[in-house]
Amino acid sequence: MPLLKNFNTSAMQISCRLVSNYVSRMRYLFELKEDDEACRKALSSGAFLLFHSLSPLLQRRENKFTAPFVTASELNRILQKLNQKEKYMEESVLIGCTENHVPQFALDLGRIEKAKAESLLKGTFVDLRKAFFLLAGKDAPLLSQAQGLLRWHSTHLYCSRTGRPTQKNVSGSKRVCSTEEIIYYPQASPVIIVLVSDGIQCLLARQESFPPGMYSALAGFCDIGETVEDCLHREVAEEVGLDVSSFEYSASQHWPFPNSSLMIACHALVQPGQNKIDLNHSELEDARWFDAKELTKALKRKQMTTMKEMRDVPFWIPPPWAVAHQLIKEWTQRQQPC
């Protein structure tokens, strides 16, 4: 009994330390978001993800791609070589901080010559959609957040009420129209992404804009006035002509396209015996039912990175870090015999 008591006490102490660290980091980030001077000071000790015209910097080492953080001192040195003022760093946006409270920022070098920046940084600026297929999962969420914030600021330079320019605060957590003190905050549009099943198979679809051979779960934006439930039922009916009988929530994920979306991922069942697809060709190029055996093979395939690789397999699914991949993996695991 004493051993169990000691174990529980130890576990609680570890839990409290973890919670305290998380709380302290969130409080620190809140301070940086609200206090321009504190954030300006943090820029000199921060780490930076770099973009060029919203394309992230990637470096390749031993056939692996990473999105590197550049220290403030290194970035300062590079900006000087590119004849840019140190104040250029204030165009960055705050995206987080490390366990040790090192602030993390994202900065777009779009007005600097791309080739020259790539040469100094020893990397390549890659379109974000392509980058997502090259990177390991740990890099993708922060890149998604960073690009989403940078894109939002680039498209909200003027007040929609007065037409006057807006100003970014140092952290990038808001923009302000000083004429009428109107504050704008970055927003994300809610999107339903749903894996539909008839109990034996699940339905995947593709849009014309997808890379060759890729199939994914159904997805669509929530209309104003709709609940998540309403949107899910409507999207499935609109896109494949099926009637959902029940559904369950799985997870959520930020997605930077087209202009930042909050993906709300769900599993859904259609009415018993209803599995005839009535495809809406204005929305989708194709939709098919897949069984667990097919999807198990797809989950084991290595990540596709070239057009040839994409064409050499029957079909493939989104990369492992994508919430659509997680839905497919969850469904496939549920089909395995106990």
Q: What is the pLDDT of residues 304-316, one digit of tens each?
A: 556 666 667 788 9
Q: What is the pLDDT of residues 100-151, one digit of tens each?
A: 999 999 999 998 999 999 999 999 999 998 898 888 778 889 999 999 999 9
Beta bridge partners of 50: 107
**pLDDT greater than 80 at residue 96:** yes
Domain boundaries defined on the chain: 9-154, 189-334
Q: What is the pLDDT of residues 158-181, one digit of tens each?
A: 999 999 999 999 999 999 998 888
Q: What pTM does this model have?
A: 0.87
Looking at residue 306, its pLDDT comes to 62
Please report which confidence band the pLDDT of residue 4 belongs to, taking 50, 70 and 90 as the band edges: very low
Please give the torsion angle defined by the CA atoms of residues 37, 38, 39 and 44, in that order, rounded to the nearest 10 degrees: 100
Give residue for tokens 């920046």: 117
Q: Under CATH, what is the fold of the domain 189-334?
A: Nucleoside Triphosphate Pyrophosphohydrolase (3.90.79)
Q: Under CATH, what is the fold of the domain 9-154?
A: Nucleoside Triphosphate Pyrophosphohydrolase (3.90.79)
Looking at residue 305, its pLDDT comes to 59
CA 173 to chain centre: 18
Q: Rounded CA gap, 76 and 246, in Å?
A: 55
309: exposed, middle or buried (C-beta count within 10 Å: 0-12, 13-18, 19+)? middle
DSSP per position, 165-201? BPEE-TTSS-EEETTTTEEE----EEEEEEEEE-SS-
**Domains 9-154 and 189-334 equal at CATH topology level:** yes
